[in-house]
Amino acid sequence: MKSEKRIHKREYTSPEWYYAQLEQDWFCADMAGDYMVMRKMSECGYGDITAPQASIMKYATIWELNKEQIKILLGKDYKEELFSDWETRRQQPLREYKEWLSKQP
């Protein structure tokens, strides 16, 4: 059985509190009603991941991340040439949607 703890939502007081949890090897794995289910990163295959990287993993899609967050997430695997125009590329779907919307009656 993997280590697990349940934290009532009122105990989640700030991002600093969450970062402290990450530094102690805990991450938010699930929500159960009014409780946050936290598990040990080391027991869930996260290995040498850093707390800031784990925090960024809560986003649903890479398109939500800015260039600085991508750098943190990828760490030593970040390649500037792949993300040099990231801010332009990540805004493209929004521009296309706005164009489509403007053409609607």
| 29-63 per-position pLDDT tens digit | 888 889 988 888 877 766 677 778 877 877 777 88
Query: Is residue 94 exposed (0-12), middle (13-18) or buried (19+ Cβ within 10 Å)?
Result: exposed
Structural domain includes residue 54: no
Residue 85: the pLDDT is 93
The predicted pLDDT at position 79 comes to 93
Residue 79 lies in a domain: yes
Average pLDDT, the chain: 85
Confidence at residue 71, expressed as pLDDT on a 0 to 100 scale? 92
Contact 67, 83 (CB under 8 A): yes
Quick one: 103 and 77 in the same domain? yes
Same domain, 25 and 67: no
| Residue 29 forms part of a structural domain | yes
If asked whether residues 66 and 43 sit together in one domain, one would say no
User: How many structural domains is the chain composed of?
Assistant: 2
Cα–Cα distances (Å) from 32 to 24, 27, 43, 63, 76, in that order, read 22, 14, 20, 27, 35
Task: Fill in the amino acid letter for 76.
Answer: K
Q: How far is Cα 82 from Cα 86, in angstroms, rounded to an integer?
A: 8
The residue segments making up the domain with residue 66 are 59-105
